[in-house]
Structure 1
Amino acid sequence: MRGTLVRKAAALGALAVGAVACGDSAGPGAASVTVLLTDAASAYVESALVDIGAVELIGGAGGPIVLTDDGTDGPVDLMELQGLATTQLAAQDIEPGTYTQLRLVVESASVVLADGVTFRDGTSEADLTVPSGAQTGIKLNLKPDDENGGGVDIAAGQTVLVVDFDVNQSYRLQGNPDMEDGVTSVSFQPTLRALVDDVAGSISGTVTADAGVALDVEGLVVSAAPVENTALEPFESTTATALVQADGTYTIYFMVPGEYDVSVEAGEGFTAPVVEAVTVGQSEDVEGVDFVIVAG
């Protein structure tokens, strides 16, 4: 099953509208690296526009390699990049070697709230302030859990790197969207993670309400957090999220191999036990990580 998912993701990336930086050939035996952008959604956001500028690859024998100066070629709606959907940020031939980080510059961000959700002044759209650190460049570790200092070996041939720009974690609503007072503001705190596509797996399951519990599970957030904490750069995360669908199912894609504690945010007055130490192997789709929400 995982092979099908990888082919689908690669095809979507090739078809997507994105800026491609094609540098001079790196010579015989060169490696080809492609950077794709994807997203985990938010139930309270209709449109999450972000403009990514320069994308660099750090490591190898020389200094940083500029893969592109204009990653998204203007604002792109992250809400259109859910599931396995991706858009291409950059593609370039490079020298084979060990590369430790990706660096991305976020130039602008804006938000349109979902239908029925408004700011306290009655509007639903806003331009957001990009933190200064994101404007100068967000560094994302490649294989940050590597005991030997991190980094990914990019050999001759094609390597696809995926950047997950998590809307649910990045666009933080201030106030209560479910109350009459609405949302006071949206704080933009870019939250991203990077991984190598061909070893990525997934976690999926169902979320249901226990008998007698009146709760609509659609739109609840399921999170997978690594069991072992690692040192992270500002704006970097190793936690992945997904929304529960109308039929009660969820799938968290693009999971780095490792052990995760998986939980669901059930909301005030409800709870569901954390599923601990879920192991995701290389290119493995882990199914049946299910939750039953109870009152309490």
Structure 2
Amino acid sequence: MRRSFGVLTVLLAFSLALAACDDGTAPGGEGTLSLLLTDAPGADIEEAWVEITGIYLQGTFVAGERVWLLEESTGLIDLAQLSGITMDLVKDVAVPPGVYAQLNIVIGDAVLVAGGNVYTKPGSSHPDGRPSDGLLECPSCTETGIKVNLPGGAVTLESESKILVLDFDVSQSYGLDAGLSGAWVMDPLINGSDFQTTGTIQGTVSLGQDVTLPACGGGATALSDFLPMAILDEIQRSGDVADDGSYRIAFVEPGDYSLSFESQVSFDNGDVLSFDATHPASVSVTSGGVAEADYTLVDASCTPSGS
């Protein structure tokens, strides 16, 4: 598993709906804000259910006052089903003009399925009634909510309509408890980006000469166990690798991103899969553009549990 201490709307259809609007001005001098939810999946995570019970902005409108965008439960949402598509989370909510430095999401219930086992946050249950096999801890799931990493550190709303894409990065949000208790820990990483200005990073992951993937975690490993990453200041994005080695990191805010990768993958049985790879040091993402970056694995090894 990745860390040891992550009504559906096709984007094209949403883009066409935006293009059909006469302009982006909201009535009455207030701006409107819509939020779309997507996911960068974790290769070994089968289901990642979360309930969102509230979303609010906080900023310069009135000191200390929250502007609520959502004050009711969404029900359980399976983030693992949102790779490459989005769902409407909040649509056209009127927001007073101002600069908002915080966008917070309040998490209620949470359920994780990994390795065939079900892990639940206390008080939560799987939507299909599957029994819980273990604990899902979420120390940051407090009443104040999870802080979203906003593009440029804040969102400014005047009289226009704005759309933000929220990437709930499953691959970086879940990990096994470092204390080897058998529990999983949920530490949500959520990045926000402007829908109308985002770009894409994509490429391939391939094996170098004489490099083979070892068995690890009680079974065969694959290129999909590798996790490419792109980093810009506090923004950390990751991409899911397909069986053919292709990967894609979508909805990326424009900028110069340092490239990296997850060097180790920990499995439930204690085995650790380690990678070394060559790749470009950085890529530049432009609005609406596609940046290409390929990874070559130069080493892959497995350290058995207890070694």
Q: Is the partner of 1:86 in helix, strand or coil?
A: strand
RMSD over aligned Cα atoms: 3.1
Match runs of 1:223-238 below 5 Å: 223-226=229-232, 229-230=233-234, 238=235
Deviations 1:35-65 (A, max 9, x none): 1211111111111111111111222533321
Q: What is the distance in 2 between the residues matched to 1:110 and 1:198?
A: 32
One-letter identity of the residue aligned with 1:218: S
User: Contact 2:11 / 2:85 at 8 angstroms: preserved in 1?
Assistant: no
C-alpha contact 1:12 1:85 (8 A) present in aligned 2: no
Are 2:201 and 1:199 equivalent residues in the alignment? no
Q: Structure 1 residue 27: deviation in Å? A: 5.3
- Which residue is equivalent to 1:69? 71
Q: C-alpha distance in 2, partners of 1:270/1:143?
A: 31
Aligned partners of 2:274 and 2:185: how far apart in 1?
26
**Deviations along 1:166-211, whole A, 9 cap, x unmatched?**
1111111348xxxxxx992211111212222111111000000123
Matched residue SS, 1:28: helix
% identical aligned pairs:
31
Q: Name the residue aligned to 2:3.
A: none
Q: Distance in 2 between matches of 1:124 and 1:183?
A: 15
Q: Which amino acid aligns with 1:243?
A: D
Q: 1:218 to 1:99 in 2, by over 3 A?
A: same
Matched, 1:169 2:169: no
What is the aligned partner in structure 2 of residue 254 from structure 1?
A: 251
Shift of 1:104: 1.1
- Deviation at 1:88? 1.7
Write the letter of the residue equivalent to 1:222: P
* Worse-superposed segment, 217-226 or 247-256: 217-226
**Secondary structure of 2:196 counterpart:** helix
TM-score, normalization by structure 1: 0.75
Residue of structure 2 equivalent to 1:218: 224
Q: Which residue identity is paired with 2:159?
A: A
Partner residue of 2:295?
Answer: 291
1: CA distance, partners of 2:241 / 2:132: 24
Deviation at 1:274, TM superposition (A): 4.2
CA distance in structure 2 between the partners assigned to 1:277 and 1:247 by the alignment: 23
Among 187, 206, 209, the alignment partner of 2:207 is 209
The one-letter code sitting in structure 2 at the alignment partner of 1:291 is: Y
Gaps of 5+ in 1: 15-25, 145-149, 176-181, 231-237
Q: Which residue of 1 aligns with 2:95?
A: 94
Q: Pick from 143, 146, 149: which aligns with 1:138? A: 146
Amino acid at match of 2:12: K
1:234 paired residue number: none
CA contact 1:67–1:90 (8 Å) conserved in 2 = no
Find 2:281's aligned residue among 272, 276, 284.
Answer: 276
**Cα 1:125–1:49 shift into 2, 3 Å:** farther
Residue type of the alignment partner of 2:14: A
Closer, same or farther: CA 156–74 of 1 in aligned 2, 3 Å: same
Q: CA deviation at 1:90?
A: 5.0
Q: How many residues align?
A: 255
Q: TM-score, normalised by structure 2?
A: 0.72
Which residue does the alignment assign to 1:157? Answer: 160
